[in-house]
Amino acid sequence: MDIRLPFREEDIKNLRAGDVLTLSGVLYTARDQAHARLVRSIEEGKELPIPLEGQTIYYTGPAPAKPGAVIGPAGPTTSYRMDPYTPILLKNGLKGMIGKGGRSREVQEAIKEYRAVYFAAVGGAAALIARSIKKAEVVAYPDLGPEAIRRLEVEKFPVIVINDIYGNDLYEEGQREYRKIDI
């Protein structure tokens, strides 16, 4: 299954934790410091440098592109660091997030409330993932270097649904199935 971005309500409704799919269209990269700035702008009532409505943020800070390449290796970074900023972005229209690792209870609740989806990409598979990125340009906070916000155009970007609008969590379910020890 391939979903064309930005998300429509029916795409979100159909996704379930454990679904393996690809995404095509526009993603915005943002990580720690970009999140802090976006949230500060929202709190101060200022205009954001990127649209949020229906959009997807990819938690990554790519390596520099070699000459002739669109982008350098660009795998996901760990998502929990963005947890403190996430509910307010979801409240403002963000629909998709791509990263790796579990989210806080608050974020999982906000995903249900604001009808969004959290996906994982394979951490460490950065050179492979970069192949699905067809265009990349810095659109905000260039002073942040690798942490600047980039607008990416992707084709068949591979992801797995971790948290859906029904409150499912693939990490919890998947790990429980294979656990053979109590601690």
Shortest distance in whole angstroms from residue 96 CB to other proteins = 18
15, 31, 34, 35: which is the annotated catalytic residue? 35
- With CB under 8 A as the contact rule, the residue among 89, 117, 120, 136 that binds other proteins is 120
Site string for other proteins, 138-167 (x = CB under 8 A): ------xxxx------------x-------
**Alpha-carbon separation of residue 47 from 23, 42, 139 (angstroms):** 27, 7, 14
- CB neighbours (10 Å) of residue 182? 4
Spatial contact of 58 and 29, defined as CB atoms under 8 Å apart: yes
Residue 136 β-bridge partners: 152
Sole residue written with tokens 């915005």: 28
**What minimum distance in Å lies between the beta carbon of 171 and other proteins?**
5
Is residue 122 involved in binding other proteins (CB under 8 A)? Answer: yes
Q: Which of 102, 116, 117, 161 binds other proteins (CB under 8 A)?
A: 102
Per-residue binding string, other proteins, 46-85, x by CB under 8 A, is --------------xxxxxxx--x--xxxx-xx-x-----
CA dist., res. 58 & res. 152, Å (int): 9
- The answer to whether 133 and 104 are in contact (CB under 8 A) is no
Q: Is 35 labeled as catalytic in the residue annotation?
A: yes
* Contact partners, residue 7, CB within 8 Å, separation at least 6: 54, 55, 56, 95, 96, 117
Q: Between 93 and 158, name the residue whose CB sits nearer to other proteins.
A: 158
User: Which residues are catalytic, by number?
Assistant: 35
Binding site for other proteins (CB under 8 A): 20, 33, 60-66, 69, 72-75, 77-78, 80, 100-102, 120, 122-128, 130-131, 144-147, 160, 170-171, 173-181, 183
